[in-house]
Amino acid sequence: MKENREPSKQQLTKHYGTDEDQLKKESDDDALFDHYTLVASKGQRPLRVDKFLSNLLPFTTRSKIKNASRTGSISVNGKEVKLSYKVKADDKVKIMLPYPPAPKLEAEEMDLDIRYEDDELIVLHKPPGMVCHPSIGHHSGTLVHGLLWHIQHLPSAKGDIDEVRPGLVHRLDRDTSGIMVVAKSEYAMSHLAKQFFDRSTGRTYQAVVWGDVAEDSGTIFGHVGRHPKERKLYFTYPNGEAGKHAVTHYRVIERYGVATLVECKLETGRTHQIRVHMKYIGHTLFMDKEYGGDKILKGNPTQKYKQFIQNGMKILPRQALHAKTLDFTHPTSGERLSFDSDLPDDMAGLIDKLKKWAAHQG
């Protein structure tokens, strides 16, 4: 079987005789797309941009390049261009491409909580504990496996797995619940990925964090990148010395004394962004094991209080984070769609318990 691997920058440079800086690849974190910047060499003769991109990105199909053009995802020197544009020497060409759909996998029957569906996309509620896509250690039981089963068993399914594969354009952590959108067509993938790249989607999350957040609302600035010591974790770099630019807006919904329910709105979508930003300002998410939220961080540690917190941790054995709302523009109709989801039972149960404790203390 021929392996479909993406060539490295060194391979492209060697094969096409390009400059070392001709190809640069950037990726976002929670949104699933790649952003390529290509600089035409000084000896570049006028060449259609679609041909230019096909030459330098041989792992990308012509149809993907065409869809990128249709969604305004190709620009030259900062301006959107059509496929007929002729690339010249020193032109800076940018293209944004969604990640390819999952490879051929065995579909698995699952009870998916689908809130909306049409020919282009699916909006669903992801439960806590479900991994979005296959990865090391997660070869089955993922959201993609369940979506494959669902789409293949629709009356409209063609029976060809290559025609019905779902495309994730963003993701949620395994233990984060909430609303997600999934593309069903290649055009929808390109269109939705472009919206996430342009940050024209709207996303709000709700989180229970340790402590009484001082301000009713605020904005957290700080690059987010890999932790300097724990490579599986992330870290806030307030001076921008590492990581990527990240901004989180928050507002307080309810206070419980030892904890606070907050709404977070993302301006950027970095991996673990809310989790590390809230930790950075001293309010780690409740039961966020990876960032120390599974310990008693606030409150008077009496035996009664310890028992109360331990009971709360049994109710919610994962980080208290839920993707509450999502809005975006439909790829074909142009209609602005908005979706809201109730808090899952575990998080709602914790909040109810915190409310009763706060009322009793007051």
pLDDT in tens, 316-333: 999 999 999 999 999 999
168: closest CA among 99, 250, 230? 99
Q: How confident is the model at residue 181 (pLDDT cuts 50, 70, 90)?
A: very high
Annotation marks residue 19 as catalytic: no
Of residues 113 and 33, more confidence is placed in 113
Q: What is the pLDDT of residue 29?
A: 60
Would you say residue 253 has pLDDT above 90? yes
Question: Is the whole model's pTM more than 0.85, yes or no?
Answer: no
pLDDT above 50: residue 242: yes
Greater pLDDT, 100 or 87: 87
Q: How confident is the model at residue 34 (pLDDT cuts 50, 70, 90)?
A: confident
The span from the CA of 262 to the CA of 86, in Å, is 50
Q: For residues 209 and 274, give the distance between their C-alpha atoms in angstroms, rounded to a whole number.
A: 11
Residue 195 has pLDDT above 80, yes or no: yes
pLDDT in tens, 101-139: 655 678 899 999 999 999 999 999 999 999 987 766 667
Hey, what are 13's tokens?
A: 């440079």
Confidence of residue 33 (pLDDT cuts 50, 70, 90): confident
List of domains in the chain: 9-98 (3.10.290.10), 113-184 (3.30.2350.10), 202-361 (3.30.2350.10)
Q: Which is higher by pLDDT, 352 or 159?
A: 352
Q: Would you say the C-alpha torsion 148, 152, 156, 159 has a positive or negative sign?
A: positive
- The answer, yes or no, to whether residue 95 has pLDDT greater than 50, is yes
Sign of CA dihedral 140, 159, 334, 63: positive
Distance separating alpha carbons of residues 201 and 100, to the nearest angstrom: 21
% the chain with pLDDT above 70: 85
Answer for the pair 72, 43: CB distance below 8 angstroms, yes or no.
Answer: no
Residue 69 has pLDDT above 70, yes or no: yes
Picking from 31-35, 271-275, 291-295, 343-347, which range would have the lowest pLDDT averaged per residue? 31-35
Complete DSSP assignment for 276-339? HHHHHTT-PBTT-GGGTTTS--SS---HHHHHHHHHHHHH--S--EEEEEEEEE-TTT--EEEE
Read off the pLDDT of residues 196-211 as tens digits, 9 standing for 90 and up: 988 899 999 999 999 9
On whether the CB atoms of residues 72 and 79 are closer than 8 A, the answer is no
Residue of 256, 266, 227, 221 lying closest to 239 (CA atoms):
221
The end-to-end CA distance of the chain, in Å, is 68
Residue in 89, 49, 80, 78 with CA at minimum distance from that of residue 65: 49
Helix (H, G, I), strand (E, B), or coil: what is residue 14? Answer: helix
> Of 173, 175, 288, 346, which one is the catalytic site residue?
173
pLDDT tens-digit map of 152-167 = 876 554 444 444 457 8
